[in-house]
Amino acid sequence: MIHLLAENDFFRYPFPVHSASTDQSRIDRAASILDRLRRRYPEVGSQLTWHSPWELLVATILAAQCTDGRVNAVTPVLFARWPTIMDLADAQQSEVEAVIRSTGLYRNKAANLIRTARKLVQDYSSQVPSRMQDLLTLPGVARKTANIVLSHGFGVHEGIAVDTHVKRLSYRLGLSSSQDPGRIERDLMPLFPRQAWGEINHFLVWYGREVCRARSPQCGQCILADLCPRTGLD
């Protein structure tokens, strides 16, 4: 009997860094993109402020549909009020909502933060786990958040975080023809070395903010112009 993999099953199975289905032109284009963006952003990193995997996890959850600057203004207050995972696990949701209200979606975010803290206390000895399968059991944590925490909090590269900037640039640069974050991640992973999976997320996010904007992309100033098929722009 032939077993067909479901969409989410892809990430549970090993695969070659460069698969036979990945055409050489995209591999070469991706290598050039990575090289040029590395030279443009030699010290690029997350704009979120954090000092531990727990703080990174909280900040990433809060960053959904919110600017990093706003999150950075809120997290010092949050961590001063509830310094540890156990403290937040015992917090009242209404009080957490009041602190994080300006980040948007505050009711859902507050509920997820408290439930996540409780699960970490109950199941993970009050520690943020360093495995994808464990992170995905936490309320409000999907692959994008898990990839960010693993890559930058633990130096573990299990995938590529796909946010709105990565989604947009992957399509415009012809690295993926999909609009689905899961499919985009699967398309990108064979194109870049595993150790660069965290970097490429940062590079595409920064470049998407500065040059390849959603509206009025600065194509005349783009260092990738000769590589870019401008998918969706013409």
144 is catalytic: yes
**Do residues 224 and 173 touch, judged by C-beta distance below 8 A?**
yes
**157: alpha, beta or left? (left if phi > 0; alpha if psi -120 to 50):** beta
The residue from 68, 119, 134, 163 that is catalytic is 163
What burial letters (b/e) apply to 159-188, b meaning 16+ CB within 10 Å? bbbbbebbbbbbbbbbbbeeeebbbbbbbb
Distance in angstroms (rounded) separating the CA atoms of residues 1 and 194: 33
User: For the chain, how many residues are written?
Assistant: 234
3-state helix, strand, coil in the chain (%, to 5): 60, 0, 40
Give the torsion sign (CA, 17, 199, 75, 100): negative
Q: How far is CA 61 from the centre of its chain?
A: 10
The residue from 109, 144, 167, 187 that is catalytic is 144
Radius of gyration of the chain (CA): 19
Task: Name residue, tokens 């077993």.
Answer: 3
Q: Which residues are catalytic?
A: 144, 163
